[in-house]
């Protein structure tokens, strides 16, 4: 059973456009929702994270939107740049040192 | 800090051979995780340790897989015997147990079993 479902699998966005990646989760006990960014040949690295006490978190061009009732959260990349081209993973976990459960990833390509 | 260090970066072996992947976590981190990445299944958790003790190995696909953490600075993932379907990128990651937050990944080992 996949606990975190991510879509789309791949995404092509024009430079300057908005990239949107969505995730849905099943376990209502999850209380930590990070996004990881992975460049080719590298391991994933934490990009931004949110907890369910807020509905939105913004860091620069990256924003997480969180909808607790729908059990969904999304990553928005504003003014997308070619350097943002990477694979993005959403994840979820329960506080108390439980492991992160990852979505399957979205390969983003930003074209000029 | 050098980050999480994995070796080798690439491993090509023949079916039936033993494969050992190595990981050195970040100093001071007391939780260590092994993940496997494939196109079809994404990032799958194989096993994780807290303070060198295995906590959950339910993600280990078969008895052919085993993992050890003899001390706080070293862990191994062994596959014996290896099979072509084990071909994937294997990541080691670590964090401080108390934070339950940022996970630091190594650069991975690209395993190809022919």
Tens of pLDDT, residue by residue over B50-99, are 999 999 999 998 899 999 999 999 999 999 999 999 999 999 999 987 76
**Res. B1 pLDDT band, cuts 50 70 90:** low
Note whether B100 contacts A32, CB cutoff 8 Å: yes
Average predicted confidence (pLDDT) for chain B: 94
Residue A23 exposed, middle or buried by CB count within 10 Å (0-12, 13-18, 19+) = buried
Q: Do A105 and B42 touch (CB under 8 A)?
A: yes
Write down how long chain B is: 114
Q: For Cα atoms B83, B84, B87, give the angle at the middle one, nearest 5 degrees.
A: 105
Q: Residue A77 forms beta bridges with which residues?
A: A19, A62
**Identity of the residue in B31, B41, B105 whose CB atom sits nearest the CB atom of A44:** B105
Output the DSSP codes for B48-99. Answer: EEETTEEEE-TT--STTEEEEEEETTEEEEEESS--GGG-EEEEEEEE-TTT
Q: Do A97 and B31 touch (CB under 8 A)?
A: yes
pLDDT of A103 over the 90 cut: yes
- Say yes or no for a CB contact (<8 Å) between A43 and B100: no
Question: Which one of A36, A95, A102 has the shortest CB-CB distance to B100?
Answer: A95
**pLDDT number for residue B2:** 82
- Minimal Cβ distance to A104: which of B42, B56, B106: B42
Helix (H, G, I), strand (E, B) or coil at A21: strand
Give the bridge partners for A101, in sequence order.
Answer: A92
Confidence (pLDDT) at A2: 66
Nearest-angstrom CA–CA distance, A60 and B104: 22
CA-based Rg of chain A, rounded to a whole angstrom? 13
């Amino acid at each position: 059973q996949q606990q975190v479902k991510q879509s789309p699998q791949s995404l092509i966005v024009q430079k300057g456009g908005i990239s949107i990646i969505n995730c849905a989760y099943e376990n209502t006990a999850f209380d930590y929702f990070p996004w990881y960014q992975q460049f080719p040949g590298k391991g994933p690295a934490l990009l931004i994270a949110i907890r369910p006490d807020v509905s939105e978190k913004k860091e620069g061009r990256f924003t997480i939107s969180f909808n607790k009732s729908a059990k969904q959260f999304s990553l928005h990349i504003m003014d997308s740049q070619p350097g943002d081209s990477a694979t993005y993973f959403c994840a979820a976990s329960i506080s108390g040192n439980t492991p992160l459960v990852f979505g399957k990833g979205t390969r983003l390509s930003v074209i000029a | 800090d050098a980050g999480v260090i994995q070796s080798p970066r690439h491993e090509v072996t023949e079916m039936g051979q033993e494969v050992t992947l190595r990981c050195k976590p970040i100093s001071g981190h007391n939780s260590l995780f092994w993940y496997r990445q494939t196109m079809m299944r994404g990032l799958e958790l194989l096993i994780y340790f807290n303070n060198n003790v295995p906590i959950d190995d339910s993600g280990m696909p078969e008895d052919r897989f085993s993992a050890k953490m003899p001390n706080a600075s070293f862990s191994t993932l062994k596959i014996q015997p290896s099979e072509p379907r084990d071909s994937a990128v294997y990541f080691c990651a670590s964090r401080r147990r108390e934070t339950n937050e940022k996970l630091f990944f190594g650069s991975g080992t690209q395993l190809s079993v022919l």
